[in-house]
Amino acid sequence: MTIYALSSGAGLSGIAVIRISGSETEKVILTLTKKVLPTPRVATLRKIFSCKSNDLIDEGIIIWFPGPNSYTGEDMAEFHIHGSKAVIQAILDNLSKIENCRLAEAGEFTKTALYNEKINLLKAEGIGDLIASETEIQRKQALKIISGKNSYKFNSWREILLKNLANFEAKIDFPDEDLPIDILKNTKKDIDVVRSEIKKTLNDSKVGERIREGFKIAILGPTNVGKSSLLNYFSNREVAIVSEIAGTTRDVIEVHLNIDGFPVVMFDTAGIRKSEDEIEKKGIKLALKKAQDADLNILVFEPKSVDFSHFFKDLDLKKSIFVVNKSDLDLKKPEELEQYNPISISVKNEINIDQLISQIKKNLKIKFVNIEDTTITRERHRQQLMQCASYLDDFFKKESENDFDKAAEDLRLATRHLGMLVGKVDVEEILGSIFNDFCIGK
Ligand SMILES: Nc1nc2c(ncn2[C@@H]2O[C@H](COP(=O)(O)OP(=O)(O)O)[C@@H](O)[C@H]2O)c(=O)[nH]1
Ligand SMILES: [Mg+2]
C-alpha cells in the first residue's frame, strides 16, 4: 500500500508539499508527470498532469527518494506544488485514483519510519513534540530527544541489564557450563548503578513533562471576584464569559500561554461558594481538583469579607499566590488575608498586574531551573522507568542462589520495561548477547 498526504499546513500558501510513501511511488511519479523518473534526491521541475488524461494540473518540483534512503525507509516522493485549495485537491483526487494508493492516517509517515527502524519510539515522540512546539524551550527539548541523547542513556542502562541477564539466562539454559558461581552478587554491583541512575532520573520534579505540556496555573477564588477577567487579560481575548452574575463560570476553561518563553497552561475555574446547584457543585469540585494538579494557584479575592476556612482546607497554600482584585474600588482589603501578603490588583484598570506577572515568573524560573538535564518528557517514560526500578528493587531482595530463577525474572521484566521505553522488546537480542559474550559453542 502506498500512502499520500498534504504534509504542509492547511490553508492558502505559496507552496504546498504532498508526500507519497510506498511501493507505488515510482508509478505515481511516472503517471502524474508522464516523464522518466527524476534523479534521486535532486529537485526537478516537472509538469503535473491528470492521471487519466493529459490535462495539466500544475507545475512544481518533484523530489524522488528511493528507499531505503528516505524518511520512512520506503520509496518516497515529495511534490512541491502551488499551495491553492484547487491545486492540492486536484492532485489528491488524482492520487486517490491510482491503484493501491490511499490517504495517510495521522502520523503514518513517522509510524512507517518507526516500523522500518529509521527512528526509534523516542525519536518518533520527539518529532511529534517538535511539530507541536510553541515555545523556545519546547523546541529545544524536542530537538534534544530527536538527537537521541535520551535514547542513548536509556539504551546504555538497558545494555547493562541485558548483559547481566545474559549471564543468568546462560546459567539457566546451560547449567553445566563453566560460568562464574557468584553471578547474583556480581550482578548486584552493576544493577545498583543502573538502579540509582534511574531513581535520580525519576526525581526530576517533572520538568520535562512541564516543558512539553506547559506549567499549570489554576485561577481560583470565590465567585465574582474577577477570575475570568484575569484569564481574559492574560490571553488577550474573551475566552471566558465575564459577568456580574455570580456562578457564571462552571466548567474549567484552559488557555495556552507563552510567558517569557515558558509554556504555561492557565485554567479559569468555577467560583467557590456553597451552592445547591448540581452543575455548579460539580464545577467547584473540578476547580479544587485542578488546584491540586496545578503547579501554581492564583487565589483571587475582592475587597470583601469571606469565610475562607472551608475554601483553604483543600488547597496547598505553599504553591499559591494571593491576589485581591478590584483595587480601583478603593475599598479595604479583607483582614483575614493580611497574613498571606496579597497583591492588590485591578484587572479593569490594569493596575499592578506586572507585580503579579513577576511573581508568576519567579515560580516559573524555580520550576524550570534544570531544563538542561531533563530526561523524562512524558508520563509514559515515567511509568516505564518506575516499573523498571521496582523490578530492580525486587531483584535486590533475592538473596540466595535458590532464588536464581526469580531473580532472573525480575531482571527480565526490568529490561523489558526499558525496552518498552525505547520501543525495543526483542528476545533474540538477549540470545545474541549470550552467544557474543560467552562463546558457549567453543
Ligand atoms: N471594579 C472592578 N470590577 C471588576 C474587576 N475585574 C472584574 N470586575 C467585574 O467583576 C465582575 C465579575 O467578574 P468575572 O471575571 O466574571 O469574575 P469571576 O466570577 O471571578 O470569574 C464583572 O462584572 C467584572 O466586570 C476590577 O478590577 N475592578
Ligand atoms: Mg468566572
Helices (H) and strands (E) in the chain, counts: 15, 12
Based on the fold, state whether residues 153 and 76 are members of the same structural domain. no
Measured CA to CA, the distance from residue 442 to residue 423 in angstroms comes to 33
Nearest CA-CA partner of 47 in 37, 38, 60:
60
- In sequence order, the 6+-apart residues with CB closer than 8 A to the CB of 111 are 124
Radius of gyration (C-alpha) of the chain in whole angstroms: 29
Instruction: Classify residue 129: in a domain, yes or no.
Output: no
Choosing from 224, 235, 245, 311 the residue with most ligand 1 atoms within 8 A of its CB, the one to mutate for a pocket test is 224
The pLDDT score that the predictor gives to residue 311 is: 72
Instruction: Classify residue 120: in a domain, yes or no.
Output: no
CA angle in degrees (0–180, nearest 5) for 209-214-220: 120
Give the CATH number, domain containing residue 347. Answer: 3.40.50.300
Based on the fold, state whether residues 363 and 312 are members of the same structural domain. yes
Residue 434 Cα to ligand 2 midpoint, Å, equals: 64
Instruction: Classify residue 346: in a domain, yes or no.
Output: yes
The pLDDT score that the predictor gives to residue 194 is: 96
Helices (H), 313-426: 353-367, 379-397, 404-422
Check residue 42 and report its DSSP letter.
Answer: -
Tens-digit pLDDT string for the chain (442 aa): 999 999 998 888 999 999 999 999 999 999 999 999 999 999 999 999 999 888 999 999 999 999 999 999 999 999 999 999 999 999 999 999 999 999 998 888 988 998 898 988 888 888 888 988 888 889 999 999 999 988 999 999 999 999 998 888 877 777 666 556 677 778 888 899 999 999 999 988 888 998 988 999 999 998 899 999 999 999 887 777 787 777 777 788 999 998 888 899 999 998 888 777 888 888 888 888 999 999 999 999 999 877 777 777 778 888 999 999 999 998 888 888 888 899 999 999 999 999 999 999 998 888 877 667 788 998 889 999 999 999 999 998 887 767 788 888 999 999 999 998 888 765 555 445 444 444 333 4
Measured CA to CA, the distance from residue 99 to residue 213 in angstroms comes to 41
Whole-angstrom distance between the N-terminal and C-terminal Cα of the chain? 46
**Which ligand has its closest atom nearest to the C-alpha of 232?**
1
Question: Is the Cβ atom of 199 under 6 angstroms away from ligand 1?
Answer: no
Residue 227 Cα to ligand 2 midpoint, Å, equals: 5
Measured CA to CA, the distance from residue 196 to residue 183 in angstroms comes to 20
Instruction: Classify residue 122: in a domain, yes or no.
Output: no
**Residue minimizing CA distance to atom 11 of ligand 1:** 244
Question: Is the Cβ atom of 325 under 6 angstroms away from ligand 1?
Answer: yes
SS3 132: helix
Give the CATH number, domain containing residue 96. Answer: 3.30.1360.120
The pLDDT score that the predictor gives to residue 327 is: 93
**Per-residue exposure over 340-358, b if at least 16 CB sit within 10 Å of its own CB, e if not:** bebbbbbbeeeebbeebee
The pLDDT score that the predictor gives to residue 62 is: 98
Measured CA to CA, the distance from residue 82 to residue 215 in angstroms comes to 39
Measured CA to CA, the distance from residue 234 to residue 353 in angstroms comes to 10
The pLDDT score that the predictor gives to residue 76 is: 98
The pLDDT score that the predictor gives to residue 271 is: 85
Measured CA to CA, the distance from residue 122 to residue 261 in angstroms comes to 24
Question: Is the Cβ atom of 271 under 6 angstroms away from ligand 1?
Answer: yes
Based on the fold, state whether residues 175 and 314 are members of the same structural domain. no
Question: Is the Cβ atom of 248 under 6 angstroms away from ligand 1?
Answer: yes
Based on the fold, state whether residues 72 and 26 are members of the same structural domain. yes
Residue 295 Cα to ligand 1 midpoint, Å, equals: 25
Question: Is the Cβ atom of 22 under 6 angstroms away from ligand 1?
Answer: no
Measured CA to CA, the distance from residue 389 to residue 373 in angstroms comes to 20
Q: Look at the block and give the residue holding cell 497583591.
A: 343
Based on the fold, state whether residues 395 and 353 are members of the same structural domain. no
The amino acid at residue 146 is I
Instruction: Classify residue 132: in a domain, yes or no.
Output: no
Contact (Cβ atoms closer than 8 angstroms) between residue 209 and residue 377: yes
**Which ligand has its closest atom nearest to the C-alpha of 245?**
1
- Exposed (0-12), middle (13-18) or buried (19+): which is 326, by Cβ within 10 Å? buried
- Pairing verdict, β 56-65 and 76-83: antiparallel
Instruction: Classify residue 143: in a domain, yes or no.
Output: no
Measured CA to CA, the distance from residue 124 to residue 112 in angstroms comes to 10
Residue 291 Cα to ligand 2 midpoint, Å, equals: 15
Helices (H), 42-103: 85-97
Question: Is the Cβ atom of 72 under 6 angstroms away from ligand 1?
Answer: no
Based on the fold, state whether residues 252 and 281 are members of the same structural domain. yes
Based on the fold, state whether residues 363 and 225 are members of the same structural domain. yes
Q: What is the pLDDT of residues 195-246, one digit of tens each?
A: 999 999 998 888 899 898 899 999 999 889 999 999 999 988 777 778 777 7
Give the CATH number, domain containing residue 189. Answer: 1.20.120.430
Based on the fold, state whether residues 313 and 408 are members of the same structural domain. no
Instruction: Classify residue 423: in a domain, yes or no.
Output: yes
Among 367, 391, 417, the domain-final residue is 367
**Residue minimizing CA distance to atom 3 of ligand 1:** 326
Residue 229 Cα to ligand 2 midpoint, Å, equals: 7
Choosing from 220, 234, 237, 242 the residue with most ligand 1 atoms within 8 A of its CB, the one to mutate for a pocket test is 242
Check residue 349 and report its DSSP letter.
Answer: T
Strand extents, DSSP E, 101-151: 101-103
Instruction: Classify residue 196: in a domain, yes or no.
Output: yes
The amino acid at residue 113 is A
Among 367, 388, 405, the domain-final residue is 367
Q: Supply the range of the domain harboring residue 222.
A: 213-367
Nearest CA-CA partner of 297 in 327, 275, 267, 270:
267
Among 314, 345, 367, the domain-final residue is 367
Based on the fold, state whether residues 65 and 156 are members of the same structural domain. no
- In this structure, what are the phi and psi dihedrals at residue 144, rounded to the nearest 5 degrees? -65, -40
Cell numbers for 162: 541485558
Residue 268 Cα to ligand 1 midpoint, Å, equals: 13
Question: Is the Cβ atom of 229 under 6 angstroms away from ligand 1?
Answer: yes
**Residue minimizing CA distance to atom 16 of ligand 1:** 242
Measured CA to CA, the distance from residue 268 to residue 280 in angstroms comes to 14
**Which ligand has its closest atom nearest to the C-alpha of 325?**
1
For 405-412, which contacts have Cβ atoms below 8 Å and span 24 or more sequence positions?
A: 405/172, 407/168, 407/184, 408/165, 408/168, 408/169, 408/172, 411/161, 411/164, 411/165, 411/168, 411/187, 411/191, 412/165
Based on the fold, state whether residues 256 and 392 are members of the same structural domain. no
Beta bridge partners of 237: none
pTM over 0.85: no
Based on the fold, state whether residues 359 and 426 are members of the same structural domain. no
Closest atom of ligand 1 to 232 CA is: 15
Closest atom of ligand 1 to 268 CA is: 21
Based on the fold, state whether residues 229 and 316 are members of the same structural domain. yes
The pLDDT score that the predictor gives to residue 439 is: 35
Question: Is the Cβ atom of 161 under 6 angstroms away from ligand 1?
Answer: no
- Pairing verdict, β 56-65 and 343-344: unpaired
The domain tally of the chain equals: 3
The pLDDT score that the predictor gives to residue 280 is: 81
